[in-house]
Amino acid sequence: MLRLRDGGVHFGAIVDHSAEVLDFRLLTSGGLVSVPWAMLDPQQSTELQTRYGYVDTVAEEILIDAERLVLTSGATIEGVVLSREGKSFLIKTEGNLQQIDKTRVASIEQGLRIPALDVYSAEELYAQYSALAPATDAKAQWELAETCERIYAFGRAVEHYQRVRELDPTYRATELSNLLPRVKQKAEQQAQLDYLREADRKRKRGQWDAALDLLRGFERLYPDSALREDAKKQEARLLLARDEAAKEYVGRRWFYWMRRLTRDLAAEDTLAAARAYVDERLSEEIQKAVLADLQRTISKEAQLEQVKPLFAARRKVRYEATTYGSGTWLIGREAAQRGNEAEAAPTAAPTNETDAQRDALAARIRQFLKNQQVAARSRRAEEEDDEQQTFWQSFSASHRAMWLLAYYVENSGDLELRARPTLTNCGTCGGAGALEVLLSGGGGAPDQGNRGGGRGGRGGGAQANQGMQLQTCPACHGVQVVRRVHFR
């Protein structure tokens, strides 16, 4: 039963076949038709071509257990550790033996599966497998030939497939007659296949430019090669893989440099200068630093204008957080509370005298803060800057770095912000923004809401400063909250 791609079904017999067509004699009329493989149902086409030896069914290259040594320099070495005795490791990698001083090894990762050809040469692997295959067993010789294909020893594979024919001419004869020419062709192309495999090995190791140089030079070295299209397809896959690696790398390095540069900027003595740097230059400096890393690690062809799009295309997983801390007030009350507005719940009527006193105090504080905002607008800019600068100088370097990071995250537009920040009530005033204090009248308290009161003491002045008074919270400066922002 022959199934066609368009759904048709025909009964008959397969008379002959080649790599291009299937000759089929129809049961109904006895007519002979040549059917291209592409016209058959894909599943049946694959099954028949595999049965007749037109499809290369050899599995992927052989993998072996290995370990990865992570060196103190950050470099890695993958291979088989042959000895751990003494002061060094003896490791087999890329066909060579290396001795690595144990003091240079930061950690060892086990459980890796890597291509055997990344550790041993093809001849070393052939020696191992051929020693296990009985020379007079056709089945064992067939399996050895398949193994030779998997280790890219195609000349050896031809030898053992021919040995199968000598030992038993009937063993998988049809399949052998079809696959042997293909394997012979690979043996003739051995140097070209080794060349392409070396390019792929460099790709797997992240040596993108070296791999790309090899692939771009293939046509120049082998202008008449039948593998030119394979080289072009391999180059296209490499470029896609390099772009994906660049996205992941730029994402990591951007986050590293934004923290590094804000930490360095925390040493700036003036808040105004640090803030201006974040507003005007920080994003550009991050891009330049990331570009230098990208050119050194991924590709020397990378350009500055590619960095930001690569960062925007990064894989975003979880949110991270940073905070303005006790310096939240430096961004102003409106900015500090932005993004967490909620519908005001209806205020319940006071049910007792305590509730009534609480509500009255809340109303007084709201009015007080409103008056403070009006008073702040009339203050001289120099006075406000002096107050902020005094606070900035008292701020620790680590808190300055967090504040600058939060300011960059919220204002640069480079990062994705979670819709709602986390606002925590000030621990000193409980989120009220002001404190009610008792003044004895012996001297004017440093009341931020009564700046003209002097030091008190004479006549009505002392009397005026007596009793319960409201003062702006000295911790949050009336902004009421500590702002924490989430980004990715």
Domain of 173: which CATH number? 1.25.40.10
- DSSP letter (8 states) at residue 282: I
Contact present, 254 and 283 (Cβ < 8 Å): no
3-state secondary structure of 359: helix
Instruction: State the pLDDT at residue 38.
Output: 87
3-state secondary structure of 183: helix
Query: Could you give the CA distance from residue 161 to residue 6 in angstroms, rounded to a whole number?
Result: 38
What H or E segment, with its residue span, contains residue 163? Answer: helix 154-167
Query: Could you give the CA distance from residue 120 to residue 194 in angstroms, rounded to a whole number?
Result: 14
Contact present, 79 and 93 (Cβ < 8 Å): yes
Query: Could you give the CA distance from residue 162 to residue 155 in angstroms, rounded to a whole number?
Result: 11
Whether residue 57 is contained in a domain is answered as no
- Give the CATH number of the domain where residue 70 resides: 2.30.30.100
Domain with 242, as residue range(s), is: 198-315
Instruction: State the pLDDT at residue 55.
Output: 59
CA-based nearest residue to 401, from 223, 238, 264: 264
Instruction: State the pLDDT at residue 345.
Output: 47
Whether residue 132 is contained in a domain is answered as yes
Q: How many residues are present in the chain? A: 488
Tokens of 127: 């020696």
Tokens of 335: 């900015």
Q: Are residues 369 and 481 in the same domain?
A: yes
The CA–CA distances, whole Å, from 27 to 5, 16, 36, 118 equal 19, 15, 19, 54
Q: Are residues 184 and 260 in the same domain?
A: no
Query: Could you give the CA distance from residue 479 to residue 429 in angstroms, rounded to a whole number?
Result: 10
Tokens of 62: 């052989």
Q: Are residues 439 and 450 in the same domain?
A: yes
Whether residue 34 is contained in a domain is answered as yes
CA-based nearest residue to 245, from 198, 308, 315: 315
Q: Are residues 295 and 206 in the same domain?
A: yes
In sequence order, the 6+-apart residues with CB closer than 8 A to the CB of 274 are 265, 266, 268, 400, 404
Whether residue 349 is contained in a domain is answered as no
Query: Could you give the CA distance from residue 239 to residue 245 in angstroms, rounded to a whole number?
Result: 10
Contact present, 9 and 1 (Cβ < 8 Å): yes
Whether residue 350 is contained in a domain is answered as no
Direct distance between the N- and C-terminal alpha carbons of the chain, in angstroms, rounded to an integer: 58
DSSP structure string for 53-110? T-S----SPPEEEEEEEEETTS-EEEEEEEE--TTEEEEEETTEEEEEEGGGEEEEEE
Those residues of the chain that have pLDDT short of 50 are 57, 343-345, 443-463
Count: domains in the chain: 6
User: How does pLDDT run across 457-483, given as a tens digit for each residue?
Assistant: 444 444 455 666 888 899 999 999 999
In sequence order, the 6+-apart residues with CB closer than 8 A to the CB of 197 are 117, 152
CA-based nearest residue to 375, from 448, 307, 292, 302: 448
Q: Are residues 241 and 129 in the same domain?
A: no
Whether residue 351 is contained in a domain is answered as no
